[in-house]
Amino acid sequence: MDHRQPFEYLDNNTFSFACHPGLSCFTECCRDLRLALTPYDILRLKNKLGVNSGDFLDQYTTVKPGEHNGFPAVLLKMGEDEVRPCPCVTPSGCRIYEDRPGACRIYPIGRASSRTQGQEQAREFHFVVKEPHCQGFNEPEQWTVEHWALDQGLKPYSFFNDEWTGIITHKGSPGSEEAISRKMQMFFMACYDLDQFRRFVFESTFLRRFDIPEEIIKRMKTDDEELLKLSLLWLKFSLFGEKGLPLRPE
Ligand code: SF4
Ligand code: SF4
């Protein structure tokens, strides 16, 4: 695989692209990848595959400590044969297509976002990533970035990924040397092992310490997205002392 990343600016915010089984490159891009999963990717993948987050992490991923500015990264584990196929690829395409990771959805667009502290909304930048083997650029369909994002169902990915990026690029320090190892375990559980985080919320003193509205507590029992919102707020509170999660007065 050619690992060069030929980035190109978007011309008038539009690009030509289509991906379909009729192309000779079909599924060529689903191999030998270094695909870092975000918390929202894992939420969607484990639910699609019908496993809990702990089993998903064991079976499908490799952990790389320290890779996200000191925080651990989780990579989708490629197959071990020569072409190193993605575990989700089949001859007829992606078997988890509706829940594929954000990086697979957004291709061929690259997205960067930046948010300064105190700024409500992240600023977005887009560019085209023209992989040399990809024939999709020769297809006539025209897209704008906005239309592509809508078509690929990127909205919830952008929301959760921006919240999470705010944590892994946070300027604050997670604390003393002694605290770091414990905080990395907290980070791992809250970001990647959501079913374990749910047990932590409901089986520890968590709900006696934090003032969470009853309605949200009820939803978090079964709604993973609601739980992930809480886990990211809790991390900002625990790692950097942000005030988004109110403590009970007592
Ligand atoms: S290489 Fe490009 S066109 Fe071919 S399958 Fe992958 S994304 Fe689609
Ligand atoms: S998750 Fe699906 S779309 Fe992404 S690399 Fe694997 S097979 Fe391809």
Q: Of 149, 167, 185, which residue sits at a domain end? A: 167
Q: Is 29 among the domain residues?
A: yes
The pTM for the full model equals 0.91
In this structure, the answer to whether residues 160 and 216 fall within a common structural domain is no
In this structure, the answer to whether residues 107 and 202 fall within a common structural domain is no
Give residue 104 CA to ligand 2 midpoint distance, Å: 6
* Pocket, ligand 2, Cβ cutoff 6 A: 30, 33, 86, 88-89, 94, 100-101, 104
Q: What is the pLDDT of residues 21-72, one digit of tens each?
A: 999 999 999 999 999 999 999 999 999 999 999 999 999 999 999 999 889 9
- Percent of the chain residues past pLDDT 70, beyond the cut: 92
Closest CA to 137 of 149, 150, 125, 128: 128
CA atoms within 13 A on the CB side of 171: 5
Q: What is the mean pLDDT of residues 223-249?
A: 94
In this structure, the answer to whether residues 14 and 77 fall within a common structural domain is yes
Full residue range of the structural domain in which residue 99 is found:
7-167
pLDDT band at 1 (very low <50, low <70, confident <90, very high): very low
Please tell me the predicted confidence (pLDDT) of residue 111.
74
Atom 5 in ligand 1: residue holding the nearest Cα: 26
Q: Is 154 among the domain residues?
A: yes
Q: Chain centroid to CA 206: how far?
A: 25
Q: Is 223 among the domain residues?
A: yes
In this structure, the answer to whether residues 29 and 145 fall within a common structural domain is yes
Q: Is 212 among the domain residues?
A: yes
Rounded to 5 degrees, what are φ and ψ at 68?
-105, 80
In this structure, the answer to whether residues 124 and 177 fall within a common structural domain is no
In this structure, the answer to whether residues 30 and 140 fall within a common structural domain is yes
Residue 177 has pLDDT above 90, yes or no: no
